[in-house]
Structure 1
């Protein structure tokens, strides 16, 4: 699933692919936004870890799961 994270005072958003379900990601993001967690910490599909201080979050966009289409039918 594609996750886009907006950070205050940063010109670009953070974009990563996650293997977590939408429900798991929503639970993690909600904990960060309510203040119960000091950091939003996510790991992408390549094993890289992204950590953003909760008080610096502008928005978090949880996209649709990516389904790769192969062949001429994908057009």
Structure 2
């Protein structure tokens, strides 16, 4: 899958994959409708960092989720 283009489908894929990788229990935080395509590049950068890093510690996961909140629409 080519995630370089900011599409709704790619945004949804990234958020769903991040939900699994981060073990997010409250899946409503990761609803793709709450994120703007204008922030796609930021989300993609964060996604790439998580993929590269692999496993995150609990504090790193919390920090990452906090960072995600900063790019949400709501």
Q: Which TM-score tier does this pair reach, normalised by the shorter chain?
A: 0.3 to 0.5
TM-score (norm 2): 0.35
TM-score (norm 1): 0.34
Point out the structure with max Rg over C-alpha.
Answer: 1
Q: Judging by fraction of residues, say which structure has more helix.
A: 2
Q: Judging by fraction of residues, say which structure has more strand.
A: 1
